[in-house]
Amino acid sequence: MVVLHALSDFIDCNFAISDLSPSYWYEGRCLQSGDRLRLPRTSMSEAIAHGLMQQLSKNDCYSREGKMYGVLLVELPNGEQRVLKAFSGLLNGCSLVTGWVPPIPGRDEVALEEARTLAELDAIKQEILCLKQLTERQQYETLSDEFERQLQAMSDRHRHCKHQRQEKRQQICNTLPPETLTIALEQLDEESRQQGIERRQLKRQQNEVLQPLQQLIAATDARISELKQQRKALSRQLQAQMQASYSLTNFLGRSLSLQQLMPGGSPTGTGDCCAPKLLHYAATHNLKPLAMAEFWWGASSVNQDKIPGEFYGACIERCQPLMGFLLSGLRPNPPLPFPGREEVTLPIIYEDEWLIAVNKPAGLLSVPGRYSDRQDSVLSRLRHLLPDGMALVSVHRLDQETSGILLLARDRQTHRQLSQQFQQHQVHKVYEAVLSGVAIAEQGVIDLPLWGDPENRPYQKVDWQNGKPSLTNFQVMVREQDYTRVEFTPLTGRTHQLRVHAADVRGLGIAILGDRLYGCDAVTSRLHLHARELHFEHPKLEKTLYLKAITPF
Catalytic residues: 399
CA 261 remoteness from chain centre = 29
Measured between alpha carbons, how far is 446 from 443 in angstroms, rounded to an integer? 10
Concatenated DSSP letters of 386-412:
STTGGG-EESS---TT-EEEEEEESSH
CB-CB contact of 296 with 66 (8 Å): yes
**With contact defined as beta carbons under 8 Å apart, do 523 and 55 qualify?**
no
Q: Sign (positive/negative) of CA torsion 507, 510, 514, 518? A: positive
369 CA to centre of own chain: 12
Cβ atoms 86, 267 nearer than 8 A: no
The DSSP bridge partners found for residue 489 are: 473
C-alpha closest to that of 271 among 298, 238, 309? 238
As to burial, measured by CB atoms within 10 angstroms (0-12 exposed, 13-18 middle, 19+ buried), residue 466 is: exposed
Dist CA 185 CA 168 (whole Å): 9
Instruction: State how far the Cα of 546 lies from the Cα of 536, in Å rounded to an integer.
Output: 7
CA distance linking residue 151 with residue 154, whole number of Å: 5
Give the Cα separation of 517 and 520 in Å (integer): 7
CB–CB of 328/254 below 8 Å?
A: yes
Distances in Å between the Cα of 413 and the Cα atoms of 380, 392, 393, 540 are: 21, 11, 11, 10
CA gap 449, 439 in Å, rounded: 21
Gap between the Cα atoms of 225 and 181, Å rounded: 63
Cβ atoms 302, 455 nearer than 8 A: yes
What is the pairing mode between strands 471-480 and 355-360? unpaired
Identify the burial level of 254 via C-beta atoms within 10 angstroms of its C-beta, where 0-12 means exposed, 13-18 middle and 19 or more buried: middle
